[in-house]
């Protein structure tokens, strides 16, 4: 009887001890899991927070030291295939930058590839690339407004499309009194938009007018497609389709670019950037009329990215660069380049480079969460 009671007590003690150990381990595991989860959440918030100065560089990295002397950068275009950045300047220069073979810093390093003097030193304010014409760049001249088709290797203007009369004949919009309007400020921006099916249609050109942020839309009528042979094609030919109001403050439009299925519009004096979905542009094409101005048609499926706000004056060009290929073989760096042509005595001429996260984290009202998904556009 004594031995039975002793065995029962011992068994009870072991059972209680085992239960205690299980409860303790369960408690520890729960605490550990919670601590790990809290740590992960904290880490994610730290990495994504637009106020984290240790992660985001809101000043950008200046590339002014590699630009030619007296450069006044006024627009940019990135070639994703050649990994080259094209820059136009007010003094008629076309500057080409590429990746440096020495890559030791967090951001890719750039180097000067070439500086080309365009004949007659035109006041260049816009530049765009057309993928089916890799040997050319298309340059926008402010006044008299024109588009120059420029052959890079021969450094020659192969064709010129005069737009001055057309742009001056279209009355200024906005709040300006037509009786006291000044002369149009001319062409300030230029961008190529591919067709919905680039294998069947060469696409479109959008020209931006600075003063009232009016967009002039042209249908490319040249016999080009995505399958064309670059060196055997006709020169650029276009047909005017009509004008549309750009989203934003309706004044001082300084640059237009296409990136990730959005058309991005940069404004100088308002220090803002707005965007419209590429699909909205396509939806509005059938509404264009040379005799009137229309607005982009938006649908419930196409939401405009929230606007950006800046502190810097003189931002006249923007280019996005995805998946920068480094010499080490690593790929995936996403960058944003900003051309700064600050007004006289208000700042310096500069070319700034940002990581994509820093650019959105610092300037977008949505922070890094506003970065559009990568697409083929």
User: Which 3 state secondary structure label does DSSP give 10?
Assistant: helix
Report the pLDDT value the prediction gives residue 10, as an integer from 0 to 100: 44
Specify the pLDDT at position 128.
99
Mean pLDDT of 214-236: 83
pLDDT in tens, 101-145: 776 667 889 999 999 999 999 999 999 999 999 999 999 999 999
Q: How confident is the model at residue 231 (pLDDT cuts 50, 70, 90)?
A: low
Segment 246-257 shows an average pLDDT of 92
- Across all residues in the chain, what is the average pLDDT? 82
**35 CB-near residues (< 8 Å, 6+ apart):** none
The domain 71-171+183-370 is placed in CATH, from the list 3.40.50, 2.115.10, 2.40.50, 1.10.1220, at 2.115.10
Who wins on pLDDT, 11 or 172?
172
Bridge partners of 215?
208, 244
* Cα–Cα distance for residue pair 377/374, rounded to 1 Å: 8
Q: Please determine, for residue 253, whether its predicted confidence score (pLDDT) is greater than 70.
A: yes
Question: Tens of pLDDT along 32-65?
Answer: 444 433 433 333 333 333 344 447 999 999 999 9
Q: How confident is the model over 159-188, as a mean pLDDT?
A: 74
> What pLDDT, on the 0 to 100 scale, is given for residue 345?
61
Is the pLDDT assigned to residue 340 strictly greater than 90? yes
Entry pTM: 0.82
Going by pLDDT thresholds of 50, 70 and 90, the confidence category of residue 8 is: very low
- Residue 28 per-residue DSSP state: H
Decide: helix, strand or coil at residue 45.
helix
For residue 320, the model assigns a pLDDT of: 98
**According to the model, what pLDDT value does residue 136 have?**
96
Pairwise CA distance, residues 35 & 29, whole Å: 10
The DSSP symbol for 329 reads S
**Nearby residues of 188 by Cβ (< 8 Å), 6 or more positions away:** 125, 126, 140, 142, 208, 209, 210, 253, 254, 255, 316
Domain ranges of the chain: 71-171+183-370
Does residue 275 contact residue 305 with C-beta atoms inside 8 Å?
A: yes
- For 266-315, the pLDDT digits (tens) are 999 999 999 999 999 999 999 999 998 888 765 544 455 668 999 888 99
Q: Are 319 and 84 in contact (CB under 8 A)?
A: no
């Amino acid at each position: 009887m004594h031995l039975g009671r002793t065995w029962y007590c011992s068994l009870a003690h072991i059972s209680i001890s085992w239960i205690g150990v299980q409860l303790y381990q369960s408690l520890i595991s729960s605490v550990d899991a919670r601590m790990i989860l809290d740590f992960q959440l904290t880490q994610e918030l730290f990495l994504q927070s637009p106020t984290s100065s240790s992660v985001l560089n809101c000043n950008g990295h200046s590339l002014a030291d590699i630009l030619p002397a007296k450069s006044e950068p006024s627009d940019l275009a990135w070639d994703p295939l050649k990994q080259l950045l094209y820059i136009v300047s007010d003094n008629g220069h076309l500057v080409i930058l590429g990746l440096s073979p020495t890559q030791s810093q967090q951001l890719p390093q750039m180097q000067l590839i070439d500086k080309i003097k365009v004949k007659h030193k035109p006041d260049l304010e816009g530049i765009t690339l057309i993928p089916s014409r890799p040997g050319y760049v298309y340059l926008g001249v402010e006044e008299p407004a024109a588009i120059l088709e420029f052959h890079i290797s021969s450094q020659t203007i192969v064709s010129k499309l005069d737009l001055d009369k057309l742009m001056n004949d279209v009355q200024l919009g906005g709040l300006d009194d037509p009786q006291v309007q000044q002369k149009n400020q001319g062409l300030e921006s230029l961008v190529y938009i591919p067709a919905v099916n680039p294998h069947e249609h060469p696409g479109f050109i959008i020209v931006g007018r600075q003063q009232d942020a009016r967009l002039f839309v042209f249908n490319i009528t040249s016999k080009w497609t995505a399958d064309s042979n670059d060196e055997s094609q006709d020169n650029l030919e276009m047909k005017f389709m009509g004008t549309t109001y750009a989203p934003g403050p309706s004044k001082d439009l300084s640059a237009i670019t296409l990136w990730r299925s959005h058309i991005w519009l940069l404004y100088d004096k308002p220090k803002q950037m707005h965007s419209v979905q590429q699909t909205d542009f396509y939806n509005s094409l059938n509404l264009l009329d040379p005799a009137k101005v229309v607005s982009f048609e938006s649908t419930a499926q196409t939401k405009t990215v929230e606007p950006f706000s800046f502190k810097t004056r003189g931002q006249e060009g923007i280019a996005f660069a995805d998946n920068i290929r480094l010499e080490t073989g690593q790929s995936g760096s996403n960058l944003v380049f900003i051309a700064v042509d600050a007004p006289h005595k208000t700042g310096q001429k500069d070319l700034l480079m940002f990581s994509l996260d820093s650019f959105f984290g610092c300037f977008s009202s949505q922070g890094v969460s506003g970065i559009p998904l990568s697409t083929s556009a």
